[in-house]
Amino acid sequence: MKKSTLLIVSSLLFLSLINSALAQVLYPGDYTENYYRTLQLKNPELLPKPIMIRPSIIEPYSSDRSLNWNLWEGNFKTKFKEDSNNNFYILNPRISYVYNHKYPRGYNNGAVWSGRGSNTSLTAGFGGNIGILHYTFAPIVWYAQNREYNIPSSQYNKNPYSYPAEGKIDWVMRYGDDSYSDFDWGQSEIRIIYKNVTLGFSTANFSWGPSRYNPIIMSKNAAGFPHIDLGTARPAKTKIGLMEFKWYWGAMYESDYFDDNSENDRKYITGFTLGYQPSFVKGLSLGVNRIMYTRWADGDLVTEDFFNAFVRNTHKGFMKNDEYDQMFSLVMEYAFPNVGLNLYVEWARNDFFGSIMDLAEHPDRTRAITIGLTKTFDLDNGNLLEINYEKTTLSSNQIQISSPGISATYYVHGVVDNGYTNNGQIVGAGIGPGSNSDIFWVNLYNPNGKMGFTFQRIRFNDDYLVNAYAGVQDEPTDYEITIGTDYLRMFNNFSINPEFLLIYRNNLLFEDNEQNNFVFNLSVSYFLNR
């Protein structure tokens, strides 16, 4: 580990000993993310709260109102600010350990990649504001043992540690052949908030839409990319309801394990998200998301590129943003807090439609969909039972497979050689291109923690399977079945959260094999202001 990394670790440990006003950053992969979503469902009066933007830094959504329901009131609060003009706080430090027995596995963990063997990460930091200037510094450092496992050779001219079943995606299966440590700026940002308008520079993760596990367009599966955003700090009240908007410009980077072409090492990404809660339909939320990304060499960008998310360039009635790969999604969420029910759907396209007629003729071309629900039950002893289910389909339909010139798999397109990734991990749904997933999980919350159970099925990259093994009776379907349980206990100033996963994987990376994987996760947090 480099001296600079050791210095950062020492600084974070020192800061963790300082006491200050409570604030909250939702670290990717932490149990607080799911609990915050449950708080929103159980407390419809909680305002302000996000509509479609799911940030990791929730300090701008601080509320002065007490909550009707909060089982973890002593450890998780929605009121953070004591002095809105001058505030400083220390974030709760968190250390995490992951052990993967047979092959790498991990989803929605931000910058941290968990390889085969032992993996450890530490995150901590501080934040605050001076007037309208808000700041958060929450980097993360980690170590990966990165033990060897079999990665099949690829027919494509790419690095042997890259995903072998698709040539145009920088999806790293193993970061080299040695153990390594790394540093990422994590959930860090500098932001100006004036009234309800915000301008920020950030490396923090964020996701779009209500999906808890597989957001299609924007998730927390990869490292947060450096970006500038402009929009509403919180949902804005209008005569017709609440409106939320953010416009983004940023950079995504290729890993060291894709190709030797330095001209495609950086990508420019721009896009927007718009959320709306109509005042005349209680509980309904609607959203629109659009992303465009392209190669970015020095001198490539011109003024038009900053507005391309909204500019309609046409030729004979069709869009002609051929310098960009682009994705688009529509989102709907319907919450029924009186009965503890939340329903949601994200419908997306891997290629933006060329015209209204194009959309009308082939609305399902390059489509993907995530649907899900959450149901809560208040128990007689004061505890809460929460049941969740989410289904995601990224595999191609018949139109995609049979039509020439159409991208046949998600997060891969014609313009950008290395796909919709940042530093070797997918920015959208972590299950990857052409994959399908069902996940069912249950949480039993109590004032001191929770118990959880998870069942998941993933079938990986059906698009590759259909194209490479057409007509083959015994095709090597790559699928995974996971059963897991976790336990959270909060005591004194600590929380401890172990998780055990038993996984059966058949035909890993389309090779004839069977794998029985065991995964152990453990995270420990220290509460500075219990």
Q: How confident is the model at residue 407 (pLDDT cuts 50, 70, 90)?
A: low
Q: How confident is the model at residue 198 (pLDDT cuts 50, 70, 90)?
A: very high
76 near 32, Cβ under 8 Å? yes
The pLDDT of residue 303: 80
**In the chain, pLDDT over 90 holds for what percent of residues?**
69
244 near 272, Cβ under 8 Å? no
Q: How confident is the model at residue 149 (pLDDT cuts 50, 70, 90)?
A: very high
| Of the candidate ranges 30-39, 183-192, 262-271, 352-361, the one whose mean pLDDT is the lowest | 352-361
406 near 351, Cβ under 8 Å? yes
Nearest Cα residue to 527 out of 443, 448, 453: 448
The neighbour count for residue 245, using CB atoms within 10 Å, is 18
pLDDT higher than threshold 60 for residue 279: yes
CA atoms of 296 and 294, how far apart (whole Å): 6
Over range 177-193, report the average pLDDT: 97
CA atoms of 50 and 33, how far apart (whole Å): 13
**In the chain, pLDDT over 70 holds for what percent of residues?**
86
User: What distance, in Å, lies between the first and last C-alpha atoms of the chain?
Assistant: 33
Over range 452-475, report the average pLDDT: 87
Q: DSSP 3-state assignment of 120?
A: strand
Higher local confidence (pLDDT), 301 or 238: 238
388 near 373, Cβ under 8 Å? yes
CA distances from 281 to 41, 277, 284, 286, 334 (A): 16, 8, 6, 11, 10
Instruction: List alpha helices for 230-323, DSSP H.
Output: none
The pLDDT of residue 23: 46
Q: Give the total number of structural domains in the chain.
A: 1
Higher local confidence (pLDDT), 324 or 169: 169
The neighbour count for residue 445, using CB atoms within 10 Å, is 22
CATH number, domain containing residue 236: 2.40.160.130
Gyration radius of the chain's alpha carbons: 22
Q: Please, what is the average pLDDT of the chain?
A: 88
Q: Where are the beta strands (DSSP E) in 279-357?
A: 284-295, 314-315, 318-319, 325-336, 341-349
The partner residues of 183 in beta bridges, in order of sequence, read 141
Structure tokens at 208: 């779009």
Q: How confident is the model at residue 45 (pLDDT cuts 50, 70, 90)?
A: confident
Domain that holds residue 182: 3-526
Higher local confidence (pLDDT), 236 or 19: 236
pLDDT higher than threshold 80 for residue 47: no
pLDDT higher than threshold 70 for residue 361: no
The pLDDT of residue 302: 76
Over range 115-139, report the average pLDDT: 96
The pLDDT of residue 317: 45
Over range 375-398, report the average pLDDT: 94
The pLDDT tens digits for 509-520 are 999 999 999 999
Q: How confident is the model at residue 286 (pLDDT cuts 50, 70, 90)?
A: very high
Over range 386-407, report the average pLDDT: 77
User: Do the strands 180-184 and 117-130 form a parallel or antiparallel pair, or are they unpaired?
Assistant: unpaired
Higher local confidence (pLDDT), 78 or 481: 481
The C-alpha torsion from 331 through 336 and 341 to 346, rounded to 10°, is: 0
Q: How confident is the model at residue 19 (pLDDT cuts 50, 70, 90)?
A: very low
The pLDDT of residue 309: 83
pLDDT higher than threshold 90 for residue 84: no
Structure tokens at 89: 């706080």
Structure tokens at 455: 């069942």
